[in-house]
A and B are shown apart, each in its own frame.
Chain A
Amino acid sequence: MICDSKTDAIRARQSAVRVDLRAVCASSLECAPHPSAPFVNVNCPAVLRLDTTLPAEGEPLSWFGTLGIRSFCGRQREEKDVIPGAFTYHRPSSVAEAVAILVSHGDEARPLSGGHSLIPMMKLRMAAPEHLVDLGGIADLKGITDDGSTITIRAMTTQHELIASDLLAQKLPIIRETALLIADPQIRYVGTLGGNVANGDPGNDMPALMQCLDAAYVLTGPDGERDVPARDFYEAAYFTALAPEEILTAVKIPVPPAGHGYAYEKLKRKVGDYATAAAAVVLTLDGGTVTFCSIALTNVSDTPLYAKEAGEILTGSTLDTATVARAVAAAEAITEPASDGRGPAEYRTKMAGVMLQKALSRAATRAAS
């Protein structure tokens, strides 16, 4: 047992926890590895001092922070690393083959997509999988399709491809808006949607957006496929509903009504930074009255946050100042951000509110009334 966990669900899966814990520093890297030279030095995010007191049961894992993670649950860490440990590289050509490799190696294996969260982690030896299962050779995992009511984005679709897709630009423009705020173009050419949502880092932008859009993740394992709603997927930082032998193969998104208003507002310190706080909003208006409103927040807790109550408060309103203030307060109330280089918790909570307000007003101006 190396760490207390937040929920019973997590405790029930101790072995998975052990693997995930090695990865707490997931996105804490400072620069992206060049895809063609994956093992150049990536420099460590912060000095890791690992003798931090473990959180008591039920206490939030807020010290995980995100990206600014400086504490590491477990034994004291005396070394610093920028070079990965040894591993075996697999490149299956089908999902079934990939799943079989995961099944045979259990915790020791990890899927590899764009590698822009995983490889930096490995360089820091925050993750030390003995088997890397590269999903890049699986043709089935590419592509975006539309069946009229649902858009399905296959897991290996890159963030750049999300930006370039005409279909998404037309029917789900908020995806493009959000993807443009991820990291920088080099990272987006390689980083995938599947990796971004499967990673479990509350700093990733896509998870909250997927919650806002009420997307479902398709998880494929040895027993076949199951759909898990994005709103139920995230348990704690780096703890998700994904089992170690499962692969996230696709994301299914219900198409919002034509004429919906949308906005993703992200406050960050600089290009390539994760959010200090960010808010995703999708709403519809009818004669100035909100008929539907969905809100989610990024990086202000150890998971993305679906702000259900805030959305409900606004539904039926005319987005008048008093109601917006109530909704913002409701959204702020569910945040539990870490204090880190982006600012103290209080600031980040307030910024979630400010981002929400900005997103609401921009979404409203975009919505057909």
Chain B
Amino acid sequence: MNGIYLDNNATTMVAPEVVSAMLPYFSEQFGNPSSMHQFGDKVGRALTEARRQVQALLGAEHDSEIIFTSCGTESDTTAILSALRVQPERKEIITTVVEHPAILNLCKQLEEEGYTVHYLKVDKKGRIDMGSYYNLLSDKVAIVSVMWANNETGTLFPVQEMAELAHAAGVLFHTDAVQAVGKLPINLKESRIDMLSLSGHKLHAPKGVGVLYLRRGVRFRPLLRGGHQERGRRAGTENSAGIVALGKACELAMQTLEQEKTEVRALRDRLERGLLAQISHCFVTGDPGNRLPNTCNIAFEYIEGEAILLLLNRLGIAASTGSACSSGSLEPSHVMRAMDIPFTAAHGSLRLSLSRYNSEAEIDYVIESLPPIVAQLRKLSPYWRGDGPVSNPQDLFTPNYA
């Protein structure tokens, strides 16, 4: 397919090597890995291999710490519910205001059920205050769940330090590392992280396969009970093709981590510099000095993100926005709001997320294409006149009906 894909935080292309690795598991390798015959045995061995590949990428001490699930959301849910069930006397959860809905909506539900959820706030750069975190840790807290990297801005949280603090306080620590795995080096055996979620489709494996890392010795209750798959920790006949694919994707990610850090980052920086140099009244959101190497999130003031996306799409460029209208929610993304980005800019936030499959030519094309789009939309905007915003835009244009 033609087009420039800069929406890799939403999902990624399945790597060609991954596709070829998984294909046999749709056809000749159809056996049930639990079966006592050659059909099952071959598949069982493939799953073992995949488990080791995931283990290697995560730097986990044991391959039995890897539990295959159906997606990142399932891993997140399993982790939090398990922590609550093994410690029924602990009724509090600590998380942040900028988590993915997989965590936030679960927490909202748990609040309805009587749990107390502490949401750590972030500052204008999307950073949390370790002091307030430290003060919340107590023996009433069942689990801390904090994302490793934010899906919208790429901002990284100091999860390793946070896990240390949680461990010292005797509190379980989970991290949603869906956006981090494959983009950053991770070494779980050197950390105090008890549980970690990842999702295949964010690292060039297909959709519908994920992993929950569960440190050996951490007490656990399964989400799905049934057969003895995944050592009874996640029942349901394994998605063998997906798991094999994820294993292969992890193996590839091991080899390309360096590339993420150098080439992908250089492309991202080139893109960002190119855009900022040409377009006025825009700024990078999040914490630019401390973020994923592939993510660039820029807020363009006085225009709206969905309109930008539609115009980009016409040129074959795929990106995403934190604007309300693209989601139908009518409110700008909770991440933009949490960082206190003014509404005039929050609606115009554009996320460009790269992968190792992007080229310099593509990036240059975007650098060339985006400025006229921004100019075109600003020309339509009531907040804009000529080369800049109307002086004191909020006063000059004060629409009725708030």
Whether A associates with B in a native complex is no
Q: Which residues of A contact B (CB under 8 A)?
A: none
Q: Which residues of B contact A (CB under 8 A)?
A: none
